[in-house]
Amino acid sequence: MRTPLSRSFLARWLVPALLLALSPLSALANAPALTPEQLHQLLLKVDERSRTPTDYRVVMTSVIKRDTGTAVREAQLFRRDREERLLLLFTAPKTEAGKGYLREESNLWSYDPNVGRWERRTERESIGGTESRRSDFDQTRYATWFDATYEGTEKVGNANTHRITLKVKEGHDVPFPVIKMWLDVATTNPIKREEYALSGKLLRTVLASGWKKVALKEREEPFWYPEELRLYDELNKGNSSTFKSKAVDMRALPANLFTKAWLESKSR
């Protein structure tokens, strides 16, 4: 025989607890498989969110872990997506201050004030001795550069995700021709990426967390960026880099900022 107390217990604690416990599973089960068109639209949305019609400036702190020890660097990233311009200026420690990268159309240039020389780098090589590539800090082009396949839903940590496999289209040169990506069902943000070599070997895992949005006057879709980016080298096990973003500023940048002269002036 049920007592009022037991009914109250069931109603107040047990049923909500069970619903709470089962809710992620039910959400996962309810996440529908995406059609190719839906998938394409989803990737277009991801790409749209990664670019901003305004200028963009952020202070980044990177922690580079190696067998030999840990190094910390600070840099400022400047972007003007409408002109496909990007500039990365290292500000700390003193030994790295003044070094930088400048993207000019399809060229990436690196500058070292110690030798006072510009060097053309490949777009796809690592940046500043970290596991990162230039594309990690720039707008994405998943929808245009890759053929996507929907793989299903999966839990990543506490998040329900769409698992997608991306294969690069003919004629597009990217560092990682095959990417497995996990998109948060709730926010559509890519929270995990596994990046593979042509041979199919896993080379790098990227975890993006702390996604923040910035409302824009120019369009309805806000601009999104991850506060923390963790990059794991899967060949050199134990090597990793973590980037933390702060002090995001979307105000207009000086017109002459994306020039070699400006970067050189920072080390004088």
Partner 1 sequence: MLHLLLIAWRNLLQHRKRTAMLSVTLAGISTLMVLLLALTGGARERLLESATLLATGHVNIGGFYKVAPGLATPAVTHYPKLLELVRREIPELEHVSVRGRGWALFVSDARTLKSDIVGVDIQQEPALREVLSLKEGNLEELARPGTVLLFEEQAHKLEAKVGDMLTVSATTFRGVNNTVDVRVVGIARDIGLLSSLSIFLPNATLRELYQLNDDSAGVLQLYLKDMADTPVVQLRLRQLLEKEGFQVLRASEGIYWMKLDAVTQQDWTGQKLDITSWEDEMSLLRFAVTALDALGGVLVALLLLIVGVGVMNTLWVAIRERTQEVGTLRAIGMHRWRVVVMFLLEGSVLALASTLVGVGLGLGLCAVLNAAHIPVPDGAQVVLMTDFLHFQVGPRALLPPVFFVTACVSFVSLFPAFLAARLRPVTAMSHLG
Residues at the interface with partner 1 (CB under 8 A): 106-108, 119-125, 168, 173-177, 195, 197-199, 201, 203, 235-236
Q: Are 189 and 211 in contact (CB under 8 A)?
A: yes
Rounded Cα distance between 184 and 169, Å, is 24
Query: If DSSP codes are grouped into helix, strand and coil, which group holds residue 171?
Result: coil
For residue 106, the minimal CB distance to partner 1 (Å) is 7
Nearer to partner 1, 34 or 181 (CB): 181
Instruction: Identify each DSSP E strand in the chain by its residue range.
Output: 55-66, 69-80, 85-92, 100-104, 107-112, 117-121, 146-156, 159-168, 178-184, 190-196, 202-214, 223-233, 240-249
For residue 252, the minimal CB distance to partner 1 (Å) is 29
Nearer to partner 1, 29 or 235 (CB): 235
For residue 191, the minimal CB distance to partner 1 (Å) is 22
Query: If DSSP codes are grouped into helix, strand and coil, which group holds residue 252?
Result: coil
Nearer to partner 1, 98 or 175 (CB): 175
For residue 130, the minimal CB distance to partner 1 (Å) is 16
Query: Which has the closest alpha carbon to 186: 16, 43, 28?
Result: 28
Assign residue 171 a region (left: φ > 0; alpha: ψ between -120 and 50; beta: otherwise): left
CA atoms within 13 A on the CB side of 45: 15
Nearer to partner 1, 76 or 239 (CB): 239
Query: Which has the closest alpha carbon to 246: 97, 91, 121, 109?
Result: 91
Rounded Cα distance between 152 and 8, Å, is 40
**Greatest CA span in the chain, whole angstroms?**
87
Nearer to partner 1, 106 or 158 (CB): 106
For residue 19, the minimal CB distance to partner 1 (Å) is 46
Nearer to partner 1, 124 or 213 (CB): 124
